[in-house]
Every structure is written in C-alpha cells, then in structure tokens.
Structure 1
C-alpha cells in the first residue's frame, strides 16, 4: 500500500535531489550541457568557488536577514488582526475578506504594482514629496533592501493572521467564561489564557514564513529585475542568474544545495521542538 507513495516521492523528491547533487560535482556549462553525463567530474570545486569566488555568502546573509526581519515584523501585525476580528461584530466577514487581499494576490502582480508605485517620480515619491519628505531611489541603492522588506511584509502578514485566527478558534469558550468570572483583565486573559493556545500556530507560522521568505524569487525578480542591486540579490535570484545568464549550471547546482541546507536548519529545529513537546523523546528513552 505504501508503494504508490514511495514511487511518487522518488519521482518528485529523491531523483531530482540526487540529480542536483550530482550536477553540483560536475563542470557543467553551456558547452557540456548536451552531454552532461560526460561532463568533467570536479568534486567539490563548485562548492569552493561558490564560497570563495562568488557572492554566495553575501546572498545567504541577505536572504536570511530579510526573511527574519519580515517574519518578526509581520508576526505582531497578524496576531493583532486575528485578535481584532475574533469576536463577532457587524461587517466582520467583509473585514476578514479585505485582510486576505494582500496574501491572495499573485507575487507577480504585487511586484509589478509596487515597482510602478516606487519608480522615481511615482505615486509614493509624489505623496511623500508633497509632505516634504524626499527619500531618494527606492529600487536602487541601499534603500532597495528595505523596499523589498516593506513589500514582502505587506503581502505576507495575512498568513500569520490566518494561522493565529485558526488557533484562536481552538480556545474553548468555557476558558473565556472562567477567565471572565475570575475578573481577569484583557492583558491577563491574553497572556495567560489565550497565548498558551497560540504557541503552536505561531511557531508553525514563523517556520513557514522563514522558509517562504528565504526561497522568495518572484517578488525580488519582478521588482528589481536582473542583474538586481547587490543589496537585494537574494540567494534564489543569484542561483537563477548563475544558471541562466552565466550558464554555470554546476555552480548554480552547488548554490541550490546550499539553499537546501539553509532551509533544512529551521525545519529541523521546528521538528525537534515538536517531538520534545509531544514527549516522543521521553517515550523512546
């Protein structure tokens, strides 16, 4: 009965991963691509070049810092929005629907609209200029990093909102009633009654948000194009440029493997925490 699932896993995950690992050990470029099985085997030279002679480490730092900042910024916004729409009020369905608009829009549309608004002399520059604020270039230079963070945070905070709202629905109504009978204020109730129920959803949302932002490609690619400014050359864009503009397929495969390792770290930490929380380690011991 496990056979079909194992075959699907092999076709979708194991075989492509094995090919990527093998390609990262080859001197594979536009000249050897057609007969890539006969491409020169160079071992770990692609990994050494990626670390020493390419902007890989800088791109890793940009991707990780950008993912962490966006996740930390969007977390309180999502929690506040979920708390604000938890109880019934007139027009709640409409408010919940409006909150989801940034998240359901395709990243290509979000990147195109924000790129147009942030052009020099665009809507945002005009609005800030009328208030006496002159920010300079949004899409080039040091401010491009914060531009990417602002746009990504705007489009991804409803994800935290959805997961936290789902966690709030799991809080038993009797718990709310008991807290009210004990005279608990809103902060005491929030801290000691509601937040313990939200630890799981918030931890899951943080991990998924980190993984999603580290792997983000469409938004920076559409907003800044290629070659992108150095401050927004995230790992996924660097891998794309190395592969399809420089045609260094072996080197780009090594960068993709590095990306996989980076993504696996927070995932491993989360799975380890879940196992400890559920007591599986204690049962094994």
Structure 2
C-alpha cells in the first residue's frame, strides 16, 4: 500500500531545499523572470539605438556644409542684396518673393533653364551608346586591352579647365578644326559664337563625359553571370539578341544611374562653358550656372542670383526624386516577390 503524501508544515522549507513560496521548476514564471525579460528588452533597444550615435559626426558635417549654406541662400534670396548692402546683409531691404518674380519675369532665367536642360539631356543620351559600345568592345580579353582601357579614360580624368582651354584653342577661327574641315571644302563658320556655339558645347561635353558611361557599364558587365553567356551561346543567340535580352537587363540599374548622374553633372556644368566661351557667354550657351555667376559677380545682384540658385536646386531635385522613387518601388516589388 502506497504512503500518502504529507504536506510540509506552513513556514518550513520544502524537502528539496527550494525557498518557501517559490514555484517549482517548470511552473508559472515569477517576477524575477519578468524582470529579466524587461532588462533584456532594454538592452536590445540600447543595442539598436547605439549605431545612431555613429551617425552624429556625419550629421554635424552635413549640417555645416549643406543645411546652413542652404538656409543662408534662402534668406539671401528674400533680400535686396547688392554691392551696397552686402556688408550688412542682414539689414538689407526685405523683398520676399520679389527676386523670384523678377528672375522668372524679367531675367533670362527661363531661357537659360531651357538651354541647360536640353544640353544636359542631349549630352547624356548621346554619350550612353558611345560608352556602352566602348565597354562591349573591351569586354573580352585581347592583347593590349589594358592600354586601350587606359586611353579611353584620358578625356574623363583631364580637368575641365584643361579640356576647355584645349578645345577653345582648337575651335578658334583658323584653328585645327577649321583647318581640317577646310581641307575637305567645308567652312561651317564661327564655333565659339552664334548658333554653332551650342553644338560646340555639346561636342566638347560628349568628348569629355562618355568615359563615365564606359566605367559604369564595365562595372555592370562584371555582374553578368558567365553561365548566362554560355547558355546564350549554346542556344545560338545572335549578338543583337544577346545584347537585348541578356546584357541590357543586367545593366538596367547601372544605365539608369549613369543617366541620372550624367544629367545632374551636365546641368551643373560651369567650368567647361566658362573657360570655353568666357563671360559674358553667347546667348546660345548661357547656361544656368554661368547666368547665376554673371548675375552675382558682374551685375552684383546677389539676392537675385541666390533666387536663381534656389530655382536651380529645385530643378536638380526633380529628376533625383524621380530616380529615388523608382528605386524604392523596384525594391518593394522585389521584396514582395
């Protein structure tokens, strides 16, 4: 016959030596376990928030270099600043949106925006196939490939001041370009003044910027799986089918990024047109950065030039926002898949 279980008297410790009132192992969690869970969650939050402190130096630098000058530019654009009021610019007459109205209605701002946008789009679109062709031509190994790739980068690594000076000398009346065209009976006219100056700027920009597309496409070609090339070769795909359905889909991200960066770089181009044509520049090449410079440092309308700079910033932010939005949508679609 089994012995009945005898309960321990109240106030005495159980026979297993565990403290009185504590739930045995495997029972309901007590307050000590809940406290350890809370402390664990607190430590987890601290670990997640700790990397934010590492962003503090970069945030301070961005505040000093970007945010503060932007605020100063916005304030200047609302003041009637010129050579007389610049010394005490905080006491300059407040005009509100007057500078923006004058920039749009009375100044050549809209014409300069049209010139800058068309120049940036043409230069970016035309340099894309040139860079793509150069990258595909040097993709496979051949003798002297390293030398050819190095020569391709010369226009891109040269400073814009050197490029502008070189081409200004070549495009002078009676220069190298006129001599070469005259040898075949062509006499187009002035390259650095008049309607041809716009196309001269585009030609020089094409020469100096196509290696940028070449570099990005070469980097993108490294991401193409060699097995994809082998499968296309086994299937008997022609070079055009292989380019359209195999290579270009892999390069879509690199090409889009290159187009956006090239557009932003071209629309902000100042050194090349400044050195190539001087100031005041011909009307056909009076791009937005040069117009802002001449308004500020030749006409001494600092408030008006600040308003033009803000308009230029808004113009640049539009394609950048579109690109970031497209990247975000692509990332969301890939995450859902």
Aligned mates of 1:186, 1:121 — CA distance in 2: 44
The structure with the greater share of residues assigned to helix is 1
Return the offset for 1:178: 1.3
Look up the SS of the partner of 2:186 in the other structure.
Answer: coil
Bigger Rg over Cα: 2
TM-score by length of 1: 0.98
Aligned mates of 1:281, 1:235 — CA distance in 2: 39
Q: Match for 2:320 among 249, 253, 267?
A: 267
Cα deviation code 1:32-55 (max 9, x no counterpart): 000001111110000000001100
Higher relative contact order (CA 8 A, sep 6+): 1
Return the offset for 1:280: 6.9
Matched, 1:232 2:265: no
Aligned mates of 1:223, 1:256 — CA distance in 2: 22
Structure 2: tracts of 5 or more residues without a match: 1-52
Aligned mates of 1:180, 1:134 — CA distance in 2: 49
Return the offset for 1:179: 1.3
Aligned mates of 2:165, 2:56 — CA distance in 1: 44
Aligned mates of 2:334, 2:113 — CA distance in 1: 33
Cα deviation code 1:54-88 (max 9, x no counterpart): 00000000000000000111010000000000110
Look up the match of 1:10: 63
CA gap of 1:25–1:281, structure 2 versus 1, over 3 A, is farther
Q: Match for 2:106 among 53, 57, 67?
A: 53
Aligned mates of 1:267, 1:37 — CA distance in 2: 33
Across the aligned residues of Structure 1 and Structure 2, the Cα RMSD in angstroms comes to 1.1
Q: Match for 2:179 among 126, 132, 148?
A: 126
Look up the match of 1:181: 234
Return the offset for 1:181: 1.6
Aligned mates of 1:260, 1:270 — CA distance in 2: 16
Contact 1:47 1:251 in 2 (8 A): yes
5 Å matches for 1:19-58? Answer: 19-58=72-111
Return the offset for 1:262: 0.5
Matched, 1:278 2:331: yes
Aligned mates of 1:184, 1:126 — CA distance in 2: 46
Aligned mates of 1:79, 1:123 — CA distance in 2: 29
**Residue-pair matches, total:** 283
Matched, 1:80 2:141: no
Look up the match of 1:157: 210
Aligned mates of 2:213, 2:175 — CA distance in 1: 30
Look up the match of 2:194: 141
The 4+ residue runs of structure 1 with deviation greater than 4 A are 280-283
Look up the match of 1:115: 168
Aligned mates of 1:154, 1:64 — CA distance in 2: 19
